Amino acid sequence: MKQVTVLAPAKLNLTLDVTGLLPGGYHALDMIMQTITLYEKVIVRKSNDLILRLPGSRIPANEKNTAYKAALAFFHYTGLLAGVEIEIHKATPVRAGMAGGSADAAAVLVGMNELYNAKLSVSELCAIGATIGADVPFAILGGTCRVQGIGDILKPLPPCPDCWFVVVMPSIGVSTPEAFARYDQMGSTVHPDSAVAEAAIKAQDLAALCAAAGNALEECSGAEETPAIKALLMECGAVTSLMTGSGAAVFGVFTQKETAEKAVECLKQQYRQVYLAQPDKGGARVLQPRKPYRRNNRSTMPQQK
């Protein structure tokens, strides 16, 4: 095996609450996180060097990139004396709160584990991922999870009730450190109850889940377009709408595909980056190549003796 292709799904926060401060100044969080069917494609190839490429992207391909850090962390953990070439085809908006960079890092870990037959467990991969970024362990596990602490405490939940997401990226992104700094100054009037949202998921009650949805960082994100996007999504038939992560992307939850598709067309008249997606049941995973079809040339007619 010389190369592996990995799908890296983006994520949305159905809930996000800040529950306190942890040692080291980190914020304690309580969230319901959901991967969605918006994927970046990450190709990892065996190489003598550590090479990162992001064709078509303006993101710098350097040692500060989470994918690069993931490769170094993998080699450090396994002790393998090898290299890897990483090629990332971006699809998730940047500075959106959708964990695009974390998903790439997760994909690198999953892909290198397969490429080098390292046989690391999911728990080991998540432990490595936690050293790279708070969202990386979830990006490895994926699906629907209640996530607490700084992102290191994950509780897998049943799949999210069937629905459609319309995701809108405003013209300007949000810096996560700046959003949390503003939260420390401003606080928030929004504190969603993730326990109620968890119960709604277990009951497969989409209406109750939407009623419990919320984001404590929304008011202090600094994303000025959020209220207008939320209002448009609601006018287009969303059951609820909110910002994801620390921003700046905003999404609406829809019960019908046709309504969601119409909302996409409506929002595209004002915003360049609009996406239609559904809940995804997994995290970063290897895309298995299709086996070539082989025609059976043997006759099914009985042969004469």
Q: Is residue 286 part of a domain?
A: no
Same domain, 85 and 223: no
pLDDT tier, 295 (very low <50, low <70, confident <90, very high otherwise): low
Q: Name the band, by pLDDT with cuts 50, 70 and 90, for residue 304.
A: very low
Determine the average pLDDT of the residues in 10-30: 94
Query: What is the tally of structural domains in the chain?
Result: 2
Question: How does pLDDT run across 166-215, given as a tens digit for each residue?
Answer: 999 999 999 999 999 999 999 999 999 999 999 999 999 999 999 999 99
Q: pLDDT per residue over 220-253, tens digit each?
A: 998 899 999 999 999 999 999 999 999 999 999 9
* pLDDT for 298 beyond 70: no
Q: Is residue 185 part of a domain?
A: yes
**Domain end residue (candidates: 157, 185, 200):** 157
State whether 120 and 171 are in the same domain: no
Are 123 and 14 in a shared domain?
A: yes
The CATH number given to whatever domain includes residue 44 is 3.30.230.10
pLDDT cut 70: percent of the chain above it: 94
- pLDDT at position 281, please? 97
- Structural domain contains residue 291: no
Which residues have a catalytic role annotated? 11, 135
Instruction: Return the pLDDT at 186.
Output: 93
Q: According to the 3-state scheme, what is the secondary structure of the chain?
A: CCEEEEEEEEEEEEEEEEEEECCCCCEEEEEEEEEEEEEEEEEEEEECCEEEECCCCCCCCCCCCHHHHHHHHHHHHHCCCCEEEEEEECCCCCCCCCCHHHHHHHHHHHHHHHHCCCCCCHHHHHHHHHCCCCCHHHHHHCCEEEEEECCCEEEECCCCCCCEEEEEECCCCCCHHHHHHHHHHHCCCCCCCHHHHHHHHHCCCHHHHHHHCEECCHHHCCCCCHHHHHHHHHHCCCCEEEECCCCCCEEEEECCHHHHHHHHHHHCCCCCEEEEECECCCCCEECCCCCCCCCCCCCCCCCCC
Q: Considering the domain boundaries, does residue 142 fall inside one?
A: yes
Question: At which of 129, 157, 185 does a domain end?
Answer: 157
Specify the pTM: 0.93
Domain boundary among 157, 177, 205: 157
| Residue 300 domain flag | no
Residues 151 and 25 in one domain: yes
Percentage of residues in the chain with pLDDT exceeding 90?
Answer: 91
Residues 139, 270, single domain; the answer is no
User: Which pLDDT score is estimated for 296?
Assistant: 55
Say if residue 9 is in the same domain as residue 52.
Answer: yes
Are 153 and 19 members of one domain?
yes
CATH number at residue 259: 3.30.70.890
Task: Give the per-residue pLDDT at 299.
Answer: 38
The verdict on 67 and 185 lying in the same domain is: no
Inside any domain, residue 304: no
The whole domain housing 244 covers 164-277
pLDDT score of 24: 84
223 falls within a domain: yes
Report pLDDT for 301: 40
Residues 122 and 202 in one domain: no
